[in-house]
Amino acid sequence: MENTTTASRTTVTLTLQTPIERKGGETVTTLQLLKPRTGDLRGLLLAEVLQMKTDAVAVLLPRITQPTLLRHEVDELDPADLVACAVEVAGFLVPKAAMDSLAA
């Protein structure tokens, strides 16, 4: 897992435990998760995203992944990969001050 920050968005790169096989022979082995913006979270309950509820994370991931995952691909993710994505997403949403206080 690698964290990077660009002028526009923070990203995390995850290596999938179980690669995604796409039609046409493409295999996705890593995902970049972009820090969600307010528009990406529209229609979702923040509490459900922070609680890592499957339905909320499944709606959000196609909006913030590179390469862009399709909903059916999210539905077919290995549960361990879904949890890894959900943990990173929840980490994006925790205020910096709260993270700093945990580290102290």
Confidence (pLDDT) at 3: 65
Confidence of residue 101 (pLDDT cuts 50, 70, 90): confident
**Rounded mean pLDDT of the chain?**
91
Total residues belonging to the chain: 104
Tally of structural domains, the chain: 1
CA distances from 103 to 20, 52, 65, 77, 91 (A): 35, 22, 28, 31, 14
Confidence (pLDDT) at 12: 96
Range of the domain at 66: 2-103
29 has pLDDT over 90: yes
Let me know: does 22 contact 55? Beta carbons within 8 Å: no
Percent over 90 (pLDDT), the chain = 79
Q: Nearest Cα to 88, choosing from 35, 26, 44, 43?
A: 35
Highest mean pLDDT among 6-10, 67-71, 92-96: 67-71
6 has pLDDT over 60: no
Rounded to an integer, what distance in angstroms lies between the CA atom of residue 2 and that of residue 15? 9
